[in-house]
Amino acid sequence: MSLLYDWLIGPFADFGFMRRALAACLALSLGSGAMGVFLVLRRMSLIGDTMAHSVLPGAAIGFMLAGMSLPAMSLGGFLAGLLVALASGLVSRFTPQKEDASFASFFMISLAIGVLLVSTHGSAVDLMHVLFGSILAVDDGSLILMASVASTTLMVLAVIFRGLVAECFDPLYLRALNGRGGLYHVLFLTLVVLNMVSGFQALGTLMAVGLMMLPATAARFWVREVWSLICLATLVAFVSGYIGLVLSYQFNWPSGPAIVLVAGALYLLSLAIGPRDGILLPLLVRRHLRS
C-alpha cells in the first residue's frame, strides 16, 4: 500500500509543481479532447499537426521581443496560427488546390521560419523549450491561460455543437439550409489554434498535437456517438497526462514525450482490443464460431 502511495499519489501530495502540472493536464484534456474528435470527424487529423507547428513563428517573434514572456509568445502564436489557417482556407477557396495541400505548404514555411528565428535569436535551450515545452515548469499564468482556453472552448462548442456536427457530416446540406457552414468552419479553426497555443506552453509545438489526436483516435474504437467520443477522448487524454507525469517523476523522463507515449500506448491498446473495429476481437469471434 505504501508503495502504491509513493508511486501514484506521493509526487502530487509532496510537490506543488506536480499538482500544477496535473491541473494543466486536466485543462488541456478538456479542450483538446473535443477538438481532436472534431478533427478526426472532419478528416483533418494531419491538418491538426500542421496547425500545431504554424504557431511557432509567432511564438518565436514574441520570444524575440519579450523573452520567455507568456502573453507575448501566446499572442504571437495565436496570430500566426490564425493567419496560416485563414491563408490556407483562402487558397483552397480561390484556387483548385485542396485545403490539406495548402495547409501542408504553409506549415513547412511556418516551421522553417520559426526554427530559424528561435535558433538565431536564442540558445539551443530556448529552441528545445519552444519545440518540446516543459509541463513541470507550468506557472500560475500558464495555468490560468490553459483553464481560460478550455472554458472558452467548451462554451463555444456548447453554442455551435449541432451546427458543427452537421457541418462535419453533411456540409452541403448545412450550406443549403442556413449558409453558416463557413462561420462554423472559421470558429472551429480558431478554437483549434487556441488549444494549440495553450498546449505548446506545456508540451511544445512538436508534442501538443499528440494529446489532441491520439485520445480522439483511440476513442473511436470504443464508442460511436459524438458526445461519447468527446467524453472518452477527454478521459483518455487526462489519464495519459496523469500516467505520463508519474513515469516522468519516477524515471526522470522528459514529461511531454512521456505523456504522448502513454497516449500512444492507449491508442495501440484500443486498436488491438477495442470492440468497434479493433483487430483482435473479430479474430477471436471468428475462431469461436469455427470451434
List, as own/partner pairs, every contact residues 261-265 make where C-beta atoms lie below 8 angstroms and the sequence separation is at least 24, other chains included: 263/210, 263/211, 263/214, 263/215, 263/218, 263/236, 263/237, 264/210, 264/214
What is the DSSP code (8-state) at residue 225?
S
Q: Can you tell me the mean pLDDT for 151-171? A: 87
- Over pLDDT 70: what percentage of the chain? 86
Question: Would the pLDDT of 46 be above 90?
Answer: no
Count structural domains, the chain: 1
d(CA 56, CA 5): 39
Predicted TM-score of the model (pTM): 0.87
Question: Which structural domain range is residue 169 located in?
Answer: 2-290
Q: Which helix (H) or strand (E) holds 91?
A: helix 70-94
Q: Can you tell me the mean pLDDT for 181-205? A: 82
Burial zone of 146 (CB within 10 Å; 0-12 exposed, 13-18 middle, 19+ buried)? buried
Residue 130 belongs to a domain with what CATH number? 1.10.3470.10
d(CA 287, CA 275): 16
pLDDT for res 111:
77
Inter-helix orientation angle 124-132/99-121, to 10°: 150
pLDDT for res 104:
75
Q: Can you tell me the mean pLDDT for 220-235? A: 94
pLDDT for res 142:
84
Question: Would the pLDDT of 140 be above 60?
Answer: yes
pLDDT for res 38:
92
Q: Can you tell me the mean pLDDT for 267-291? A: 77
pLDDT for res 53:
74
C-alpha cell at 156: 463555444
111 neighbors 59 (Cβ within 8 angstroms):
no
> How confident is the prediction for the chain on average, in pLDDT?
83
pLDDT tens column, 96-120: 777 677 777 877 788 788 778 877 7
C-alpha cell at 46: 494531419
